[in-house]
Structure 1
């Protein structure tokens, strides 16, 4: 019989790139920052009797925001514009349902929501890492809007859909509160007197969140009807809820709870679209 592996002598996260945590925070539990004690990303439930819990992967941020007008800020804006143009282009081709014979690698149409979610997540992580709210907020609003408008393009796939919506929910709330979504420490450059997110941006975020929830609920398939009806009441059992259903009811839950009171929706504020 093989001997069990020795316990780890060191518990260090100096080489860790992401933090993996469960979606639900109501049940505190110990977790490893390298994800070794968590299910793989987008993995299905171990048991049909257990709810599915998407992973939240938060990359580390810069210690300070990029200076306004600096080369770093200009480069970030360029990378963001290029990424969003690419996402829009691939999504447009997905809606058309076609590619040309000379389509370059990386420019082909999306064939599933997973591919779109991966590109949105990569761009959202780039914004988060920058710790530069002047670009983060508008960029994330644009990404969330693309996702909201694109959901109906693909067959409903709960795991990648709910995972990316979960991340956007956390990112928006973190920027509105000015604190890290896991450690709750102040974000770089946070100042209570100068919030990262304007009132106008909050109204737009809430609108996207509400529309996304409505669209998503319209896509969720109805449970199959029992052809036998309800004959023999003692033998009838309520259909088992899919393991992801609880998470579907919580789409943008944090954003909508935080934005329950929008204040004056007529407040104006300049913004720049990255579309």
Structure 2
């Protein structure tokens, strides 16, 4: 059940009434690719005009209500009235991430993105992730959050850093717990072995065309530390898992080391 946003559906040129422009950080919406297998979806372009107080209040009310609705749908997932899959949850949360990024309000971005990241980590255990498309959606949302947090950590306004030390410590905790959680989920056997006759998510193009089948020849396989062959799917999977919040963890680790020294 998607969460409809009147803010996202408003007229072009600004999703809420503009006010006098003020100092606002400019964030890049271009993804930093960690590996060829990174699941990336574009972030919307941030608005160039600062929101007025009334519009900001409306945005806060909408975010609060949308997060409560997501929580309700998550709780009711087993009763037939909530989310039917993790992909439905991802769809609603990703819409909120995009809305926050478009708002260009650093204080709200930090507060609500932390809440979304923490909630998503807690919700994940409630879903059986059975196919590659669902894993694709999970990795795509985590990658988008990673890019947002990286920009917030590395961006400064005219007089101060966007994120304070308390927020960075909290973020580091969420990141580390999520990385551990994803590893545990992947080790629980939830990842379905793709049927060789079934198109895989990564073989489907933008318009739905199916690419050529992946070869499983020995020359396209690697050997793990136990001496066993691993095909490209296993290697790609390990890279995806290792890339969860990779940018953020590296940057925030360096930041905390500098601050504590």
Q: Shorter-chain TM-score: what band?
A: 0.5 to 0.7
- Residue in structure 2 matching 1:163, options 125, 133, 140: 140
- Secondary structure, counterpart of 2:160 in structure 1: coil
Deviations 1:20-54 (A, max 9, x none): 9676256xxxxxxxxxxxxxxxxxxxxxxxx6442
Partner of 1:66: 51
Residue 56 of structure 1: CA displacement? 2.5
Partner of 2:154: 177
1:146 aligns with 2:119: yes
Contact 2:29/2:45 (8 A) holds in 1: no
- Residue in structure 2 matching 1:85, options 55, 61, 68: 68
Residue 127 of structure 1: CA displacement? 0.6
CA distance in structure 2 between the aligned counterparts of 1:23 and 1:194, rounded to whole angstroms: 24
Contact 2:142/2:245 (8 A) holds in 1: yes
Deviations 1:242-264 (A, max 9, x none): 23331211100011101114259
Q: TM-score under structure 1 normalisation?
A: 0.62
CA distance in structure 2 between the aligned counterparts of 1:204 and 1:76, rounded to whole angstroms: 24
1:112 aligns with 2:85: yes
Over 3 Å off, 4+ runs? 19-23, 221-224, 263-266
- Secondary structure, counterpart of 1:91 in structure 2: helix
Partner of 1:197: 163
Residue 170 of structure 1: CA displacement? 0.3
CA distance in structure 1 between the aligned counterparts of 2:34 and 2:249, rounded to whole angstroms: 17
CA distance in structure 1 between the aligned counterparts of 2:259 and 2:92, rounded to whole angstroms: 32
Residue 144 of structure 1: CA displacement? 0.3
Residue 65 of structure 1: CA displacement? 3.3
- Residue in structure 2 matching 1:206, options 167, 172, 184: 172
Residue 71 of structure 1: CA displacement? 0.4
Residues 177-256 of structure 1 mapped to structure 2, 5 A cutoff: 177-178=154-155, 190-191=157-158, 193-221=159-187, 238-242=229-233, 243-256=236-249
Contact 1:20/1:55 (8 A) holds in 2: no
Cα–Cα, structure 1 residues 158 and 240, in superposed 2: closer, same or farther, change >3 Å? same
Residue 237 of structure 1: CA displacement? 5.5
Query: 5+ unaligned residues in a row in structure 2: which ranges?
Result: 1-11, 14-27, 193-226
CA distance in structure 1 between the aligned counterparts of 2:112 and 2:29, rounded to whole angstroms: 23
Identify, as 1 or 2, the structure richer in helix: 2
Residue 64 of structure 1: CA displacement? 3.5
Structure 1 stretch 251-260 or stretch 58-67: which is displaced more? 58-67
Computing the radius of gyration over CA atoms, which structure comes out larger, 1 or 2? 1
Cα–Cα, structure 1 residues 72 and 21, in superposed 2: closer, same or farther, change >3 Å? closer
Residue 241 of structure 1: CA displacement? 4.5
Deviations 1:168-208 (A, max 9, x none): 000011111127xxxxxxxxxx22x3111111111111100
